[in-house]
A and B are shown apart, each in its own frame.
Chain A
Amino acid sequence: MTPAQRGGAVDAFARRHRFRALEALPWLLAIAAYFAFPDYLALGAQIVAMVLFGLSADLVLGYAGIVTLGHAAFFGMGAYTAGYLAAHGVGSPLVGLVAASAMGAAIGALSGVIILRTQGLSILMLTLVVCVMLQEAANKMTSITGGADGLQGMQVGSVLGLFSFDIYGHTAYWYCLCVLAAGWLIARALVHAPFGRSLTGIRENVTRMHAIGSPVFLRLLTIYTISAAMAGAAGALIAETTGLVALNVLSVDLSGTILVMIILGGVGRLYGAFIGVPLYMIAQDRFSEIDPVYWYFWIGLLLVLVVVFARGGVLGLAEALIRRSTRRR
């Protein structure tokens, strides 16, 4: 490496946290979608909320390398917290949102303290078990959760007392988009900070991170808790904008589906969720109108193909194409 090249590399490293023009693209598209598809805002709000959920899963999976099959635990607890508050006289969406994040963080920290000490199959199993345990608890505690019938009687108030939710989803869409923007700024700051770099280090070589004195367990616990809080917030968004909470918010299905969505976009890239989640949910919406039964077949096939042929997802493919075209030049 010549000094000039080295200088360039250092420069690139020092600038990597700065905002690039391309990063405005998802937001411009989201705003454009509001005007272009006014009939689909309810679906749009759900997509935006799920992007936040995907972003939280990407922090744990893509950056810290924790393979979790139970991320719906935090999402679902957040949804139930917000739903329960709304059904018991606390209608303010923001209060519900904060409470749901706190609940997510609490569950994340509590379970994280226990399960993050393990690795490999054990951690996969333990995340899964936490999720099914909470679902079974929700299923059986019918006086609080409504059990299999779902939570009854949610009364969601207006955002800040100014914007009440309408059936077309105007408020829901903007509300979700603002919360997502906040979550995105936090996640972005985290992954570009030294903290985020150390997570990547843990993912790539945990032994070496121990050797250089990095507090591995504490780092993992921190990101797990933050991610759980974010997932809880996403759950609250879904609960408040749809007015429904049922047992499926805590299901292993959902934990798997959110992984699928971010894999389609590309993990560990921060924007995987922004591509994968809308892609999946719009395709699901279209396909299930044609034949709801066989939707699972196509998504399964797509998943197998992605793993076999395109491990980086859509963003990985894009990167490979860009690299190839620049090399040719």
Chain B
Amino acid sequence: MTASATLSAFVSIAFHGTAFAMVLYLVSVGLSVTMGLMGFVNLAHGVFAAAGGYFMTTLMTRYGVPFPLALAGGTIAVAVLAVPLERFLYRPLYGADELDQVLMTMGLVFMSVAVGKFFWGPLAQPFQPPSFLSGQIDLGFRTFPTYRSFLIVSGAVLVTLLWLGLERTRFGARIRAAVDNRRMAQSVGINTSALFTMAFALGSGLAALGGGIGAEILAIDPGYALEHLVYFLIVVAVGGLGTIRGPFVAAMLLGISDTGFKYLLPEFGAFFIYALTMVVLLWKPRGLFGQA
């Protein structure tokens, strides 16, 4: 390989890895916050991402709704649907055994697989980026796919917004207080019950957004929630619970190294990713940014 070809390969890996990382981050950040807040092992988080993707593609292909509106519609629909789910299914299990939580959410995943097949069939949903986001974009020294550039930019904007929301608003301060010390937060008059519901709806909505916007990378099919579960969990566990910075770093690490390994060493597949995860978790059982 010549020097310029090597450089070009690295640029490609960094570019596509970052785009993948943005999708992983958007889907997983809500999981990190809800797991950190409620200590709830929610294996069904991918279901919300899949639901967002299904709503969006259905609105686009069947009803001809433009992409930005369809994406917003899917996000809002999932966030609203998440509220009764949280109230009636998740809430009774806060503070219960991990095992009960694992089983209940696994039941939800199983049901989602069947529901997806029933309504949308076994195949992946077609996703066509709108014309103003398709094609290539020329940055002078080389061209990049427009849609993936859009993914990276919008991902970066959302990360900033989330960070500002959590660090600079009262709602964010309440969430941080409840993550750090739930009893104390209740004692000073924070309505943690309403907070949990809102955080859950927000996290689910973000997952739906990630599922919809990332439909080009992680195709929407009935097995979505099960197939990608391991990756979402790795992002959360490696990043650390209850933070939004941790999952970002973890998603970047995972996205770029996964793309890199699969490009440079395809004969090993995802093996190194899993090995790396193991090393990180043994070194820091609470994740890179988890509180001790």
Chain A residues close to B by CB (< 8 Å): 61, 67, 69, 114-115, 118-122, 124-126, 128-130, 132-133, 136-137, 139-140, 252-253, 256, 259-260, 263, 267, 293-297, 299-304, 306-308, 311
With both chains docked as a complex, state the minimum distance between the C-beta of A149 and any C-beta of chain B, in angstroms.
16
Give Cα A303 to B100, complex, Å: 10
- B282 smallest CB distance to A (angstroms): 6
> How close is A303's CB to chain B, nearest CB, in angstroms?
3
Question: Given known contacts A129-B281, A260-B103, what 14 new A-B pairs fall within 8 Å (CB)?
Answer: A120-B98, A124-B102, A140-B267, A259-B99, A260-B106, A294-B118, A297-B113, A297-B118, A300-B106, A300-B114, A301-B107, A303-B104, A304-B89, A307-B104
The distance in angstroms between the C-alpha atoms of A76 and B89, with both chains bound, is 33
Q: Which residue of A lies closest to B117 (CB)?
A: A293
Shortest Cβ gap from B91 to chain A (Å): 11
- Main SS class of interface, A: helix
Q: Which residues of B contact A306 (CB under 8 A)?
A: 103
Q: How far is the CA of A69 from the CA of B105 in the complex (A)?
A: 13
Whether A307 lies near B281 (C-beta < 8 A) is no
Task: With CB as the reference atom, state the residue of chain B lying closest to A306.
Answer: B103
* Complex alpha-carbon distance, A130 and B110, angstroms: 22
A300 touches B111 (CB 8 A): yes
Chain A contacts for B229, CB-based, 8 A: 252
Q: Are B237 and A303 in contact (CB under 8 A)?
A: no
- Can you report 23 A-B residue pairs in the complex whose CB atoms are below 8 A from each other? A67-B98, A67-B102, A114-B278, A118-B282, A118-B285, A119-B285, A120-B98, A126-B278, A140-B269, A253-B226, A259-B103, A259-B106, A296-B114, A297-B113, A297-B114, A297-B118, A299-B107, A300-B108, A300-B112, A304-B111, A307-B93, A307-B104, A311-B100
Main SS at interface, chain B: helix
Residues of chain A contacted by B99 (CB below 8 angstroms): 61, 67, 259, 263, 267
Which residues of the other chain, B, contact A128 by a CB distance below 8 angstroms? 230, 233
B41 within 8 A of A: yes
Question: B234: which A residues are within 8 A, CB to CB?
Answer: 125, 129
In the complex, the chain B residue whose C-beta lies closest to that of A297 is B114
Complex Cα spacing A295 to B113, Å: 10
User: Is B292 in contact with chain A by the CB < 8 A criterion?
Assistant: no
Whether A263 contacts B110 by the Cβ 8 Å rule is no
Q: Contact at A303–B277, with CB atoms within 8 Å?
A: no
Q: Which of B122, B267, B269, B281 has the most CB of A within 10 A?
A: B281
Contacts of B182 in A (CB 8 A): none
**Distance of A216 Cα from B157 Cα, bound (Å):** 48
Contact A307 B107 (CB under 8 A): yes
Q: Which of A120, A296, A297, A303 contacts B103 (CB 8 A)?
A: A303
Instruction: Known contacts A125-B233, A125-B281; decide if A133 and B271 are in contact (CB<8 Å).
Output: yes
Instruction: Establish whether residues A308 and B102, one from each chain, have CB atoms under 8 Å apart when the complex forms.
Output: no
List of A residues within 8 angstroms of B174 by Cβ: none
